[in-house]
Amino acid sequence: MTPWDPDCYLTYQKERFAPFEDLLPMVRLRPNLRVIDLGCGTGELTLRLADRLPDSHVVGIDTSEEMLEKARGVERPCRRATRFRAGDSCTTIVLPNTARPA
């Protein structure tokens, strides 16, 4: 698989962020949500979502180590509930306060 280039990915930031901006106001705010952002890319939108969902656990998942490296560079230590991990849609993720897979 060809590696992703985070800088090239961000060249089209406006186009990539537009659907997120359209959908974010539709997210119903509730405490203690568990959210997985599949294909989190460089992590900016994952962090925006985490900011919008206080007291929630948000995990960004991506297959590209290059993208995750960039995402981890924007992680905020104060947002302990936001993490970035390698994986794909078949990855098993166990979030805090959820049942562990058998």
| pLDDT bracket for residue 57 (50, 70, 90) | confident
Residue written as token pair 């897979």 = 101
At 102 the pLDDT is 44
Q: Is the pLDDT at 65 greater than 70, yes or no?
A: yes
State the distance between the two ends of the chain, measured CA to CA, in whole angstroms: 31
Q: Where are the alpha helices (DSSP H) in 1-102?
A: 6-11, 13-23, 44-52, 65-74
Domain boundaries, the chain: 1-16+41-87
Q: What is the mean pLDDT of the chain?
A: 83
Q: What is the pTM of this model?
A: 0.78
